Amino acid sequence: MITRPLDLASRLRPEPRNFDWLFFVNAGLVVLFFSVFGSRFVLAPGLGVDFRLPPAGGAPTEARSTTHHISVISAGQIVADDGLRPMTELRDWLQKKARTVEKPSLLIRASTEVSHAVVIEIVNAAREAGFTVLLALDTTDARKKEGP
């Protein structure tokens, strides 16, 4: 019985002697691309460890759940569920997301260093898209000042 009818193995070229250096070049390029370009799937870019919300008293009494949320850092970068959004694309993104639910609501988590003008611009864009807008505030500092 014939097990290899075409005998392709005899027609192949022999293996090259040594391509070990190519492995190291490929590994180096992978490391270079990840370090230079980063990946939004590994760690949200620009969302640092020192991200703090502004303090406010009485915020837990007004707490509500929302359908969407974004984070804004001091550099003006807006981080949404699906990655970084520049301000120019935010209006289109908000309008697209507002059509996905019946009563859209947006939680804006802005760092303490973010200017009020940026927050107001985002709030206006969200309201034009049909969102109910809520701002995230940190109550831990306010509780410490008020006492037990």
Average pLDDT score, the chain: 77
In a domain, 14, yes or no: no
128-146: pLDDT as tens digits: 999 988 888 665 554 455 5
Q: Domain with 133 in it: what CATH number?
A: 3.30.420
In a domain, 132, yes or no: yes
72-109: pLDDT as tens digits: 887 778 888 888 888 888 889 999 988 888 888 998 88
Number of domains in the chain: 1
- Structural domain boundaries, residue 110: 59-146
68 compared with 50, residue with greater pLDDT: 68
42 compared with 66, residue with greater pLDDT: 66
Q: In sequence order, what are the beta bridge partners of 69? A: 107
In a domain, 122, yes or no: yes
In a domain, 47, yes or no: no
In a domain, 42, yes or no: no
Predicted TM-score (pTM) of this structure: 0.54
DSSP state string for 51-116: --PPB-TTGGGG----SEEEEE-TTS-EEETTEEE-HHHHHHHHHHHHTTSSS-EEEEEE-TTS-H
In a domain, 43, yes or no: no
In a domain, 78, yes or no: yes
In a domain, 28, yes or no: no
